[in-house]
Chain A
Amino acid sequence: MKPGIADTVKGYSRKKRRGLSLSQKRAMMGYLFVSPYIIGLIVFFAYPIIQSFIFSLNRFEIVQDGYKLIPNGFDYYYRALYVHPDFVRNLIEAILNMVTNVPLIIIFSFFAANLLNQKFKGRALARAIFFLPVILTSGVMRTVDSGDLLQSSIGLTQTDSSQGAIQAIELARVLFQTRLNPTFINYIISAVDRIYEIVSTSGVQILVFLAGLQSIPPSLFEASNIEGATGWENFWKITFPMISPLILVNTVYTVIDTLTGSSNAVMQLIEDIAFSQNNYGLSAAMSWIYFVSIMAVVGIIAWIISRRVFYEQ
């Protein structure tokens, strides 16, 4: 007997049901590529973070070959917020510090990226030096340099009694004559005083902005130049909107970087309480409070900025 049409269709459909479609196959491959991350997420992130929450609700005692937990309620949270002398003050200081620093870092890195995007002699060298802070001020270097005596006494960081202070006063005198808002002037002066801090924390941000500037299609500028736009108009009507998604990315990165950096006072306090005072529960409670406040800050900032971001698609 000849195989009928019905048989062929049946065979075909059976065959299709047995194998996976291309999109299913690709989904499987996707899971395969991401699988190390899923394992890590469970073993080294989800599990520890849940355990840390449990620690914050319990008293911790080390016994033979392990440890023992004694239920303690929300006592550690109460102690962190109302009893501990430094925690709340450090937390508020860290957030205020971040709020003053982040706009300066974003503006500076955007300016520097625009500068490095222009063509001039020695541009490669200038770029290499501008990214050097990624190395010079990472991790332990920032901690060591920030409280260093010689750096601040002969250096330009802060208390340079002779030159730096006088120049800042001159600048202040000129600015106050313009009759601008004094808080604004004080902000600018404090920015000038902390120029090294700002320059040294914007390495990655300059990198991101520069990559973004490179990816703006030149045809946009050509078209607008033919229409007779000035460089100023080009900047506000083309460069700025095209780069605005990266302003969001960079702001979030800067906020996270300043709040979770190792030189941050809150982070040092939490570490100190865990390992010098061996109070794991209190430390866990503090770190949870800190984590929730960072989430809130990042969430608010991302929400505010993302409403103003321009997306191409």
Chain B
Amino acid sequence: MKTIIQSWQIQRQQQTKVNRRKRQFTLYSLSVYGWALVRGIIVLGICFIILYPTLLKIFVSVMSESDLYDVTVKYIPKSPTFENIKKVWTAMKYPSTLWNTLKLSILTSVMQLISCTIIGYGFGRFNFKGKNILFALVILTMIVPPQTIMIPLFLHFRYFDLFGLISKITGSKINLLNSEWPFLLMSATGMGLKNGLYIYIMRQFFRNMPKELEEAAYVDGASMFRTFYQIMLPSAVPAMVTVFLFSFVWQWTDTFYSNLFLQNVKVLSTALSSISFDITQQIYWETGVEVSLSPAVSSMYTNTASLLVIIPLILLYIVAQKYFVESIERTGIVG
């Protein structure tokens, strides 16, 4: 009798143990799935917040004016039209402006990539006197608002004179405004838009590369230049992709330097900021009537134009994002 009760008790104990383990298992998996659900909602929400304005631009760009005032229209227009896009296309002179922008952005970003990689390598791998002071100046160039040096720079390129050499040879100073030269010269010397950041990224990357790699190359008899372009550069590609993407995008959407140096040449960013004015001008030339756009309509044109500005960048990003996102894991930007 006693043994039967004992065995029953043991059985029961085992049963509760199994039950408890089962319950623990479900609780654990509940927390895992619960967090996955919460995380999914948060990620989707943030993605929505990021994408929403661009989606809105796409909807607005195909709306007609009557859709703007229609209360029942929120996103999908009732009478979709390509009229906006056509108007903005001609007002911006899209093909030629796009070509100007493309030329300028590629030239400057390639130049900046080359110069910042070289300078970053110098800061990251070599020891020389005054290095820390020079690097502190890199940070300082980031802090100084470009407005502080804009007038001297403007005059610098308006009356360009290389240590008095050019005026001696040609008799007068040359005007470099409205050409790519100011951008190229500043990019080549690592002084362009946000170049301090790029130098910083490249320096951090090279600093974290193992020293043995370089030493092995020396022992095998490679010169310092050869070590740079055959050993260090190939492994720096991820950081270089990041720098190139940043500099291309920021040059593309920059209005500051474009307004300063290119007053007669239109690029997309400057065309976008004057789009409402350009469209009223265009209507005036076509019909001879001076119109003033209502705020809603002018905003509609602005949104359409900004969509046109950003489409090439989004295409580039779709191509490059794989390398870009991958590069994060290997860039190792650590303070």
Contact = CB atoms under 8 A, between A and B. Distances in A.
Interface of A: 23, 25-34, 36-41, 43-45, 47-49, 51-52, 55, 65-67, 112, 115, 118, 120, 124, 126-136, 138-141, 143-145, 148-151, 154-157, 195-196, 199-200, 207-208, 210-212, 214-215, 245-246, 248-249, 253, 256, 259-260, 262, 267, 270-271, 274, 280, 283-284, 287-288, 290-291, 294-295, 298
Nearest to B321: A128
A140 B134 contact: no
Contact of A291 (B53, B145, B309): B145
A65 B172 contact: yes
A215 to B, nearest CB: 5
Contacts of A65: 159, 172-173
Interface of B: 36, 39-40, 42-43, 46-47, 49-54, 56, 60, 68, 74, 115, 118-119, 121-123, 125-129, 131, 134, 137-138, 141-153, 155-156, 159, 172-173, 185-186, 188-191, 197, 199, 224, 242, 246, 249-250, 252-256, 269-270, 272-273, 295-296, 299-300, 302-303, 306, 309-310, 313-314, 317, 321-322, 324-325, 328-329, 331-335
A205 to B, nearest CB: 11
B302 A32 contact: no
A44 B335 contact: no
B184 to A, nearest CB: 12
Nearest to A203: B50
B42 to A, nearest CB: 7
A31 B199 CA distance: 15
Contacts of B296: 149-150
A149 B189 CA distance: 41
B331 A154 contact: no
Given A40-B191, A140-B254, A210 B328 contact: yes
Given A133-B50, A141-B306, A283 B147 contact: yes
Contact of A26 (B60, B126, B191, B197): B126
Given A27-B126, A195-B49, A212-B333, A36 B56 contact: no
A291 to B, nearest CB: 5
A30 B131 contact: yes
Contacts of B153: 44, 48
B50 A136 contact: yes
Contact of A44 (B60, B189, B269, B302): B189
Contact of B269 (A140, A145, A291): A140
B196 to A, nearest CB: 9
- A27, A138, A284, most chain B CB atoms within 10 A: A138
Could you tell me the dominant secondary structure of chain B's interface residues?
A: helix
A112 B149 contact: no
Contacts of B334: 211-212, 215, 245-246
A130 B254 contact: no
18 contacts: A26-B224, A30-B127, A31-B128, A40-B191, A44-B156, A44-B191, A45-B149, A52-B148, A65-B159, A115-B42, A120-B36, A126-B47, A127-B328, A132-B317, A140-B269, A151-B303, A207-B333, A271-B256
